[in-house]
Amino acid sequence: MSASDNNIMGILPVNKPKGWTSFDVVAKLRGVLKIKRLGHAGTLDPMAEGVLPVFVGKATKACDILPDTKKVYTAGFRLGVTTDTLDITGKVLSEDAGDVTAQQLEKVREQFVGEITQLPPMYSAVKVDGKRLYQLAREGKTAQRTPRKCLVHSIEIILYDEKTREGEMTISCEKGTYVRTIIDDMGSAIGTGAVMTSLVRTYSGGFDIKDCLTIEQIEDICARGRLSEAMMPVEKAFEMYGEIHLDRRLTGLYKNGVKLYRRQVKTDTPAENTFRVFGSEGSFLGLAAFKDDMLTSVKNFY
């Protein structure tokens, strides 16, 4: 396998280790897979671990168009302390020894389910005037940030010790939601402050942590020449879409950029939907949608 191999295409669901940046994972895998064209979806902070879908070869075209935008996290938290990073790795800004009962925590939790507004943390990858907020924060600077709306499907407190004021919660949300900010805001609402102590992403973009591979497992798979068996087909990321299967003649026309009339294509799915298009030999060609009753390519993967 080499960087010039254009036939390699698929998704490697990686279990990102704690202490690594998402870029570290991609850089490492470039060496392991000996493929330059890699990308990832859904950046994870260094202290976080869990699901990081890595896209290989032409599959990188899918990074920014994943239809499943839901994320699920298991987050550790501690009440009674705040930091500049909103997590346990930061500089302590305040401490509060006040008691907090499980009932109080449960009542506050309800306030952060549904559509909420968040202020992006300074230690985040959001850009302001062309510079990442975390870069400004490391320079001791602050920047004007605009509150953003985000959607939280559910928050469940799964562990809480009233003596240590430490616990764990699971959060199901849409992309763009900062778990650190949820915990910090909950701490503010309680009145004691709170920080995130750990973070594991258990689901992202249609991929579950039980399906993810560690870096060591991927290294072993590649050493045995079985990478193709480990990668998931790129069309798996679009399973929620209907399918269109083309015969040999229509496959040739489609691949040459010819728009096909709806009557030429067999499908019972409503015309306004996006479809996965498969060629006569069963290969995934890409995504398409009907426009003015003609099948028009959205993204090609051939």
Contacts of 249 (CB under 8 A, 6+ apart): none
Same topology, domains 9-66+206-235 and 70-204? Answer is: yes
Vertex 92: Cα angle to 202 and 185 (nearest 5): 50
What is the residue whose two structure tokens read 């899918």?
A: 62
**pLDDT confidence of 270, banded at 50, 70, 90?**
low
Vertex 113: Cα angle to 107 and 115 (nearest 5): 140
Annotated catalytic, 184?
A: no
Determine the topology of domain 9-66+206-235 in CATH.
Pseudouridine synthase (3.30.2350)
Given a cut of 90, whether residue 21 has pLDDT beyond it is yes
Record the pTM.
0.90
Tokens of 80: 């009674």
Question: What's the pLDDT score for residue 105?
Answer: 96
**pLDDT confidence of 13, banded at 50, 70, 90?**
very high
Q: What is the DSSP letter of 86?
A: S
**pLDDT confidence of 268, banded at 50, 70, 90?**
low
pLDDT tens profile 169-220:
999 999 999 999 999 999 999 999 999 999 999 999 899 999 999 999 999 9
State whether residue 216 is helix, strand or coil. Answer: helix
Question: What's the pLDDT score for residue 114?
Answer: 97
Question: What's the pLDDT score for residue 272?
Answer: 64
Question: What's the pLDDT score for residue 134?
Answer: 76
* Catalytic residue from among 5, 24, 45, 87: 45
pLDDT tens profile 123-171:
777 777 777 877 777 777 787 888 899 999 999 999 999 999 999 999 9
Tokens of 199: 């973070």
Determine the topology of domain 70-204 in CATH.
Pseudouridine synthase (3.30.2350)
Torsion on CA atoms 66, 3, 29, 132, rounded to nearest 10: -60
Domain ranges for the chain: 9-66+206-235, 70-204, 241-300
**pLDDT confidence of 269, banded at 50, 70, 90?**
low
Question: What's the pLDDT score for residue 36?
Answer: 93
CATH of domain 241-300: 2.30.130.10
